Chain A
Amino acid sequence: MDTIVSMASALCLLLGSFLCLSGGVGILRFPDFYTRMHAVGVTDTLAAAMILIGLMLQNPEGLVMLKLLLILLMTIFISPVASHALAKAAFKNDLVPLSDSNENKGGTESSIS
């Protein structure tokens, strides 16, 4: 039983790390703001959830478990909302998404260096 739980914990941590890394590569390599945002926003929540579940499977005692659960709940609420607010603010301030048809090079505002 113990080995199964620790294996599951390791698997969750590994998956979380992988998702984190893919998000990190995404934020560096994708061409414009919205695609980067998609890379980070999608992977972030699941990666955090996976790592926290992995930690929960390490058999901590009561209060620690409760705190981990609290962090998990907060991440699940906060991370998508922050992404949503960010994307909305960017779109409202006329940051144009990259597409085939327009000449815009994908969110290179001339004013901001």
Chain B
Amino acid sequence: MLIAATIAILLVMILGIIRGVVGPTLYDRILAVNMFGTKTVLLISLLGFAMGRPDFLDIAIVYALINFISIIGVLHFSDSAVFKHDPHDSGSTNKDA
């Protein structure tokens, strides 16, 4: 059952990568990274149990924290002025935010 759950999570990670590569807007990519992070936490916990090494849970905790911090970081910096005037920008929706 652990193995089945691991495989399911790996599948979901692949779907997430596809969305991250395709994903038309910036926020789609951030969403993909966020989902990828949560899935990595789960994957590492599951692998730790499947391989009988509960040490891995430390890494899962680090991931949960680091994922949060990097998402907040991305959003913090996406508020800044540089992200709003894009050189290729020609009358897009995010011009006057």
Contacts and interface: CB of A to CB of B under 8 A. Distances in A.
Question: Is any CB of A less than 8 Å from a CB of B in the complex?
Answer: yes
Interface of A: 9-10, 13-14, 16-18, 20-21, 23-25, 27-28, 33, 36-37, 40, 44, 47-48, 51-52, 54-55, 58, 60, 63-64, 67-68, 70-71, 74-75, 78-79, 81-83, 85-86, 89-90, 92-96, 104, 107-113
Given A93-B84, A109-B93, A111-B92, A33 B57 contact: no
Task: Give the 10 A-B residue pairs with the shortest CB-CB distance, closest first.
Answer: A24-B12, A17-B8, A24-B15, A111-B92, A67-B57, A90-B27, A64-B54, A10-B1, A78-B68, A111-B89
Interface in B39-84: 39, 41-42, 45-46, 49, 54, 57-58, 60-61, 64-65, 67-68, 71-72, 75, 78-79, 84
B49 A55 contact: yes
Contact of A85 (B38, B71, B92): B71
B24 A75 contact: no
A109 B54 CA distance: 44
Interface residues of B, number: 55
Contacts of B57: 64, 67-68, 71
B15 A27 contact: yes
Given A71-B64, A78-B64, A36 B28 contact: yes
22 contacts: A13-B4, A14-B1, A14-B4, A17-B5, A20-B39, A37-B31, A44-B35, A48-B41, A52-B42, A63-B54, A67-B60, A71-B61, A71-B64, A82-B67, A85-B71, A86-B75, A92-B97, A94-B93, A109-B24, A109-B94, A111-B86, A113-B24
